[in-house]
Amino acid sequence: MVRPQEVKAPKEKIEVLAILEDGTKTRKGYSIALVKWYAKKAIAIRWDGDDAQDKGFPVTVNGYHPAWFVLPDKLTELYSKDYKELISTMRFIEDLDK
């Protein structure tokens, strides 16, 4: 099982901005992230996998690296509204820790 913070692929096209759901902690089996995809904000998801050796899904074409699946723009718009409050709360908490 790969922690979502460690997923960087496809690295030439994606930048993880925030982990919204860490399925490795909640045991839900999936993770969700706010990402920058081709210079636009988007929502990405992935299945975490079942055990330590499982890379989850998706993985890169060669099968070596865990990857994110970026949702289409219409779905990102729907989910973004729900996550805006969560993201601002997460940032507030991070600022308190500084």
Q: Residue 33's closest CA among 98, 79, 73? A: 79
pLDDT computed for residue 12 by the predictor:
78
Higher pLDDT, 81 or 15: 15
Per residue in 70-97, pLDDT (tens digit) is 988 877 776 666 666 666 666 666 666 6
Assess whether pLDDT exceeds 90 at residue 45. yes
Q: Are 33 and 9 in contact (CB under 8 A)?
A: no
Degrees, nearest 5: CA angle 22-65-83: 30
Higher pLDDT, 12 or 97: 12
* Domain range list for the chain: 4-97
Mean pLDDT of the chain: 81
